[in-house]
């Protein structure tokens, strides 16, 4: 990905960053005002099909932003994983959307346009904002009574690509074509219900529509970078740390200390076959395949900054592959269990083996045998934390500042 600063504070400093935010807010509000979006009658006209400017502007903003994100992502200038996508809570989202829609129809404003109307002294805008503030207060005081519903039907970072199961480029093209069809349909409705003369509309809009289709086709043809391509862009920096310094392979003793560190939210990801996992696994380790882990990477990125992820296999081959995949997907604080489960058992399977020497074995075969599938019931699945004092190892776990999607919202 392109080496751009993480945020405006790094680029302009703290004071300069706030000035940038102020300027963006001012010009956004100014654009809404000169576009007539500070007038409730203009906004309400869309519900009578007389003036569909709101529909056109909102969908123009959506598709232009979408094309910007996915074209730059296709070109390797932007990591889409770092773009905030609101987690989906399906039924609460549907109900919330209906409530907001009714409020929009009745009041003639959405939250952003009501602030523009209030800023220009419009009485209806002022009362709408007061209503919004009252609604926020009421929600905060009553949400405990429907908490379970509010957090129900969680689907994580769910996108159209996930829903349709097709490549990003096709979704981008479909959304652009759908939006252009809606623009055309909106003009026909304005002609029928609003008496608009379409001959007076600028012809240049057809050129812009064609330009949007061309950009969508470019994003489709270039395609989004694969995990392998993302890793290739990081390999020069990460490979020496991974292979030479072994900065991300943590000793079983350090993993045991992390397990008992209440300040860390630990995720232990066991990538072995299900049969090996059933024979023995560390207590609280979750079984994953590489495919499941790749699918869940977006959800794991939503975990807090104190989350640490430790991938493990029988040795290090499969876990190293998983580490590269998660690192390429911009998941931070990811480590590999040094020597894998085999070395964990070398260290903790008996009291006399705490000083076992590390042996990096090829392949992914288990070197320990079990008479029964004990899973996490084996004593070595949950060793005595006091054993940490008897072990010598270099501490490597350092919580890295998350460079990931951290928030978002609607104006």
Does residue 398 form part of some domain? no
Whole-model pTM: value is 0.79
**Residues 155, 105 share a domain:** yes
Query: How do residues 275-288 score in pLDDT, each as one tens digit?
Result: 999 999 999 999 99
Query: For the chain, what is the mean pLDDT?
Result: 91
**Residues 258, 232 share a domain:** yes
Q: What CATH number is associated with residue 375?
A: 3.40.250.10
Does residue 103 form part of some domain? yes
Does residue 396 form part of some domain? no
Count the domains in the chain: 2
Residue 407 confidence (pLDDT): 54
Q: Which domain holds residue 146?
A: 8-222
Does residue 352 form part of some domain? yes
**Residues 147, 275 share a domain:** no
87 phi-psi bin (left φ>0, alpha ψ -120 to 50, beta other)? beta
**Residues 145, 187 share a domain:** yes
Query: How do residues 224-238 score in pLDDT, each as one tens digit?
Result: 999 999 999 899 999
**Residues 253, 211 share a domain:** no
**Residues 189, 66 share a domain:** yes
Does residue 1 form part of some domain? no
Residue 411 confidence (pLDDT): 46
Task: For helices 317-328 and 227-239, give the axis angle rounded to 10 degrees.
Answer: 100
**Residues 335, 269 share a domain:** yes
Confidence of residue 86 (pLDDT cuts 50, 70, 90): confident
**Residues 146, 232 share a domain:** no
Final residue in a domain of this structure, among 182, 202, 222: 222
Residue 1 confidence (pLDDT): 52
**Residues 383, 366 share a domain:** yes
């Amino acid at each position: 990905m392109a080496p751009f600063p993480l945020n405006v504070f790094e680029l302009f400093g703290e004071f300069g960053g706030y000035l940038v935010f102020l300027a963006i807010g001012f010009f956004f509000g100014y654009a809404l005002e000169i576009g007539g979006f500070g007038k409730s009658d203009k906004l309400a006209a869309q519900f009578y099909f007389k003036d569909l400017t709101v529909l056109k502007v909102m969908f123009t903003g959506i598709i232009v932003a979408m094309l910007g994100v996915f074209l730059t992502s296709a070109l390797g200038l932007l990591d889409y994983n770092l773009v905030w996508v609101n987690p989906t809570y399906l039924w609460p989202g549907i109900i919330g959307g209906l409530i907001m829609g009714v409020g929009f129809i009745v009041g003639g404003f959405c939250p952003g346009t009501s602030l523009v109307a209030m800023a220009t002294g419009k009485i209806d805008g002022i009362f709408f904002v007061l209503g919004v503030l009252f609604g926020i207060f009421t929600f905060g005081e009553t949400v405990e009574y429907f908490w379970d519903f509010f957090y129900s039907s969680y689907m994580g970072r769910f996108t159209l690509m996930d829903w349709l199961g097709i490549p990003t480029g096709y979704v981008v093209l479909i959304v652009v074509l759908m939006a252009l069809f809606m623009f055309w349909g909106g003009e026909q409705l304005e002609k029928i219900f609003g008496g608009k003369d379409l001959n007076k509309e600028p012809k240049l809009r057809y050129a812009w529509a064609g330009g949007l289709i061309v950009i969508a086709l470019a994003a489709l043809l270039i395609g989004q970078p694969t995990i392998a391509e993302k890793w290739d862009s990081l390999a020069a920096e990460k490979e020496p740390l991974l292979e030479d310094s072994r900065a991300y392979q943590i000793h079983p003793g350090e993993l045991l200390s992390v397990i008992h560190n209440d300040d860390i939210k630990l995720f232990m990801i066991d990538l072995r076959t299900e049969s090996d996992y059933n024979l023995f696994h560390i207590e609280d380790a979750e079984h994953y395949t590489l495919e499941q882990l790749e699918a869940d990477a977006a959800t794991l990125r939503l975990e807090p900054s104190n989350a640490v992820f430790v991938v493990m296999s029988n040795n290090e081959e499969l876990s190293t592959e998983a580490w590269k995949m998660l690192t390429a997907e911009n998941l931070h604080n990811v480590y590999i269990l040094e020597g894998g489960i085999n070395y964990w058992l070398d260290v903790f399977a008996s009291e006399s083996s705490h000083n076992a020497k590390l042996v990096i074995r090829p392949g992914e075969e288990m070197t320990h045998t079990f008479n029964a599938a004990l899973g996490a019931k084996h004593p070595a699945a949950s060793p005595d934390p006091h054993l940490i004092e008897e072990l010598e190892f270099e501490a490597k776990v350092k919580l890295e500042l998350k460079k990931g999607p951290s928030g978002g919202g609607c104006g």
